[in-house]
Structure 1
Amino acid sequence: MNPRIGFVTSVASELDRQLNFAAAGDFDYVEVLMDGPHAHETLASRASDVRATLADHGLDLVVHLPFPTDIGSPYPGVRDGAIETQRTCIDVAADLGAEKGVLHPESSAWEVAWEDAALRDHIDASVADLTAYGADRGLEICAENIFDSAYTIEHIDRLLANTDASMTLDTGHARVTGYDAADTAAFVADHADRISHVHLNDTRRPADEHLPFGAGNLDFEPIFEAFPSGWTGTLSLEIGTRSLEYLEYSRSHLDELL
Structure 2
Amino acid sequence: MRLGYNTNGLAHHRLTDAIDLIAAEGFQSVAITLDVGALDPYEEPGALARQIAAVRSCLDRRGLTRVVETGARYLLNPRLKHDPTLMDADPRRRAIRADFLCRAIDIARALDAECVSLWSGQIKDATTQEQAMDRLADALRPVLRHAELAGMPLAFEPEPGMFIDTFACVDRLDCQVSHPLFHLTVDVGHVHCIEEGSIADHLFRWAPRILNLHIEDMVRGVHEHLMFGAGTMDFPAIFKALHEIHYSRGVHVELSRHSHAAALAVRTASQFLSPLLNPRSSRG
Instruction: Give yes or no for TM over 0.5.
Output: yes
Q: CA deviation at 1:16?
A: 1.8
Residue by residue over 1:40-71, the C-alpha shift from the partner in whole angstroms, topping out at 9 and shown as x without a partner, is 23554512211221122222221101453412
Q: CA deviation at 1:88?
A: 1.5
For the pair 1:64 / 2:69, whether they are aligned, the reply is: yes
Aligned with 2:136 (options 99, 102, 123): 123
- Structure 2 counterpart of 1:161, one-letter code: C
Specify the alignment match of 2:199 in structure 1: 184
Aligned CA distance change for structure 1 residues 118 and 63 (closer, same or farther; 3 Å): same
CA RMSD of aligned residues (A): 2.2
Q: Is the 8 A contact 2:102 2:143 kept in 1?
A: yes
* Distance (Å, rounded) in 2 between the aligned partners of 1:115 and 1:13: 42
Specify the alignment match of 2:75 in structure 1: none
Matches within 5 A, 1:208-223: 208-223=223-238
Q: Is the 8 A contact 2:204 2:245 kept in 1?
A: no
Aligned CA distance change for structure 1 residues 7 and 105 (closer, same or farther; 3 Å): same
Instruction: Output the TM-score relative to the length of structure 1.
Output: 0.87
Unaligned runs of 5+ in 2: 73-81, 278-284
* Distance (Å, rounded) in 1 between the aligned partners of 2:94 and 2:68: 21
Q: CA deviation at 1:98?
A: 1.8
For the pair 1:230 / 2:246, whether they are aligned, the reply is: yes
Q: CA deviation at 1:205?
A: 4.6
Specify the alignment match of 1:9 in structure 2: 7
Specify the alignment match of 1:146 in structure 2: 159
Q: Is the 8 A contact 1:72 1:79 kept in 2?
A: yes
Matches within 5 A, 1:64-143: 64-66=69-71, 68=82, 69-106=84-121, 108-111=122-125, 113-143=126-156
Specify the alignment match of 1:249 in structure 2: 268
Q: CA deviation at 1:30?
A: 0.9
Q: CA deviation at 1:128?
A: 4.3
Residue by residue over 1:3-59, the C-alpha shift from the partner in whole angstroms, topping out at 9 and shown as x without a partner, is 122110032322122111122223222111112322223554512211221122222
- Structure 2 counterpart of 1:58, one-letter code: G
Aligned with 2:53 (options 43, 48, 55): 48
Instruction: Output the TM-score relative to the length of structure 2.
Output: 0.80
Q: CA deviation at 1:229?
A: 4.1
* Distance (Å, rounded) in 2 between the aligned partners of 1:184 and 1:129: 32
- Structure 2 counterpart of 1:160, one-letter code: D
Taking every aligned residue pair, what percent have the same amino acid on both sides?
Answer: 24
SS at structure 1 position matched to 2:93:
helix
* Distance (Å, rounded) in 2 between the aligned partners of 1:138 and 1:248: 35
Q: Is the 8 A contact 1:74 1:119 kept in 2?
A: no
Unaligned runs of 5+ in 1: none
Give the number of equivalent residue pairs.
252
SS at structure 1 position matched to 2:213:
strand
- Structure 2 counterpart of 1:116, one-letter code: Q
* Distance (Å, rounded) in 1 between the aligned partners of 2:70 and 2:101: 7
* Distance (Å, rounded) in 1 between the aligned partners of 2:219 and 2:124: 30
Aligned CA distance change for structure 1 residues 132 and 4 (closer, same or farther; 3 Å): farther
Residue by residue over 1:85-135, the C-alpha shift from the partner in whole angstroms, topping out at 9 and shown as x without a partner, is 2112211221222221110123x4425x12333211121233344234224
Specify the alignment match of 1:168 in structure 2: 185
Aligned CA distance change for structure 1 residues 77 and 29 (closer, same or farther; 3 Å): same
